Chains A and B, each alone.
Chain A
Amino acid sequence: MRKSLLALAAGLLLAASVGAASAADKLKVGFVYLGPIGDLGWTYQHDLGRQALVKELGDKIETTYLENVPEGPDAERSIEQLVRAGNKLIFTTSFGYMDPTLKVAKKYPNVHFEHATGYKRNPNMSTYSAKWYQGRYIQGLIAAKMSKAGVLGYIGSFPIPEVVSGINATILAAQTINPNIKVKIIWANTWFDPGKEADAAKALIDQGADVIMQHTDSPAPMQIASERGKLAFGQDSEMIKFGPKTQLTSILDTWGPYYIERVKAELAGTWKSEDTWGGLDSHMFAMAPYTNMPDDVKKMAEDAQAAIIAGKLHPFKCPIVGQDGKPVECKGGDHLDDGQILGMNFYVKGIDDKLPGK
């Protein structure tokens, strides 16, 4: 029994290596995913990006993905496994893969790596992320127009700069419509727990919020808002089927164009280590159709979107006053600079809550 198993294993290995040899003329591109591709959120959108890539360059490349890879030591093994399988360009799609990716990148200088949402780079390791706060600004405008109670409910995942800058962008936008707007913030301390996200949405609605925003990944808050007849914004992906009369819009992570561009560079031999932080203008993300709102609100949202793309509107335009009443130093000319946004760890004036850890 044991012998036959060994023989079987050896056979499989042989078959795998033969398979690798026959595909050697195609560029192998690997992806490491945090969740299951069916999560309808973060990982799902990365996989849509991969599918767009296959559609565009499928005759020249071959893609492999590993899903459900936990952040930490397992990630390093998984990334290395992709290297050994002959992948020449590897995308690792979660913040927690940063150090593992760097470690493997240093070990294999001839392989190129792309890490999403991190800040550490290497000559063979790029980083890429999106300026989601631009989308949150548009959502803040819509929310202030649509809220009858003047109270917004915000479900945060973890109090990291990406989430904090999203909250600030939202409230800064909302204040331009209604200076007295309130936001109630609940930290779920998880990216994905549909039950807890649903409970958080219930708590926010029970406490008077009538527009629900989320920076967690499941459609549960959308569904609760729908059940209670409130309004909500989706996250990462199109969530309108969970609230046909509820979703106002949603931030859609559209990684396809970036993946295609980078793989084309790899094929042409022009790939080099870069730091990409793209916004609405470079199609790193998109806004889902503006629905369930009057035409004038829709027009306002579309105008804001156009202004952001044209560079005429910056969500963090100075002067910005912090929660302590003091103006924030303005390093980017007439707006905060990228470093300030990427490291944002304060609330702006008007948020009646305390930032965890402050």
Chain B
Amino acid sequence: MALVEAIILAVLAASTPLLIAATGELVTERSGVLNLGVEGMMIVGAACGFAGAWLTGSIFIGALFGIVAGMLMSLVFALMTLGLAVNQVATGLALTILGIGLSGLIGASFVGERITPAARLAIPGLTDIPLVGRVLFGEDGFVYFSIALLVGVWWFLYRTRAGLILRACGDNHVSAHALGYPVLRIRTFAVMFGGACAGLAGAYLPLAYTPFFIPGMTAGRGWIALALVVFSSWRPGRLVVGAYLFGAVTILQLHAQGWGVGIPSQFMSALPYLATIIVLVLISRARTGGSTAPAALGTVFVPDR
């Protein structure tokens, strides 16, 4: 019982940064922009988030620092790809490299410093319920925020007119433009939303997960978030399943090793990635609800004025 609870808690924490970053990238890609710089925005978010929390003593302000840092990074990306119509793939990769360098620079003076991590909720009565109490009412705020964020994005994309327009930009920017929608402005906002989420996801790592800053601490989570967007076939509902599946496989393989399950650890470490590939194959084979990549994803749009 206690072990099951411990595993669920670890899965929740491990999945949260993936979920936040992937949600942001989902919106970006739905608007038709492919930003491969998630890892770079995350790592800068981690450095700035930690710096903010360390300087002010507030986790909340740290998170804001992370969000703003991610947005600024994404703004650079937007200027290049939307303003100057540079290739999105190349710019995204460059953004990651820039981010890794910048985070080292920003974070250098904070290496080895400690902060008090984000507090876990404690609601008398509710948090004490066996098994579900800690899970539903006892995690840090980021965990619940990530779910609220995803629900909000789902509602925005499918239940609001603005969401419909954003999706239209991603599916056919020429038509959206012809109808009079400001495609580039909408995409800029979508890219910045993606940057804000990536920055927050990065900030989660030093603020709640492992409360210290070390260069390179995102360790490839931005790439996993990118894969999750594809895994979800650009749908919020599947995104949450994917993020928790990935977190669950990661944590369970560690436990399986501790129990001495006789499967090679290298194979188990590769399991989450294998699971992603298998689900991708299954999705693309399914006749109904197949892959629904935004039709204009990654294509440069230069409006004729």
Contact = CB atoms under 8 A, between A and B. Distances in A.
Interface of A: 35-36, 38-40, 68, 153, 159, 184-190, 192-196, 198-200, 202-204, 206-207, 218-220, 223-224, 241-242, 352-354, 356-357
A354 B259 CA distance: 11
Contact of A206 (B7, B250, B262): B7
A224 to B, nearest CB: 8
B265 interface: yes
Interface in B198-251: 205, 209-212, 214-217, 219-221, 250-251
B250 A199 contact: yes
Contacts of A186: 254, 257-258, 265
A202 B255 CA distance: 9
Contact of B219 (A68, A159, A195): A195
B260 interface: yes
B210 A207 contact: no
Given A159-B265, A186-B258, A356-B266, A39 B251 contact: no
Given A241-B112, A241-B114, A203 B10 contact: yes
A207 B259 contact: yes
B108 interface: yes
Contacts of A206: 2-3, 6-7, 10, 255
B127 to A, nearest CB: 18
Given A207-B3, A223-B211, A187 B265 contact: yes
A38 B214 contact: yes
B254 A218 contact: no
A314 B212 CA distance: 38
B124 interface: no
B265 A199 contact: no
A190 B104 contact: no
B266 A189 contact: yes
Contact of A223 (B212, B220, B258, B269): B212
Contact of B216 (A36, A153, A353): A36
B14 interface: yes
B214 A194 contact: yes
Contact of B258 (A188, A190, A195, A203): A203
A195 B266 contact: no
B1 to A, nearest CB: 12
B125 interface: no
Given A195-B14, A195-B210, A207-B255, A39 B265 contact: no
A140 B257 CA distance: 21
Nearest to B262: A354
B269 A189 contact: yes
Contacts of A223: 210-212
Contacts of B215: 35-36, 38-39
B101 to A, nearest CB: 9
B258 A40 contact: no
B218 to A, nearest CB: 8
A184 B108 CA distance: 35
B11 to A, nearest CB: 9
Given A187-B266, A199-B251, A207-B255, 6 more contacts: A35-B215, A35-B216, A40-B111, A194-B214, A195-B17, A198-B210
B114 to A, nearest CB: 7
Nearest to A197: B210
Contacts of B112: 40, 241
Given A204-B258, A354-B260, A356-B265, A195 B3 contact: no
B264 interface: yes
Nearest to B11: A199
Given A219-B212, A223-B212, A38 B255 contact: no
B107 interface: yes
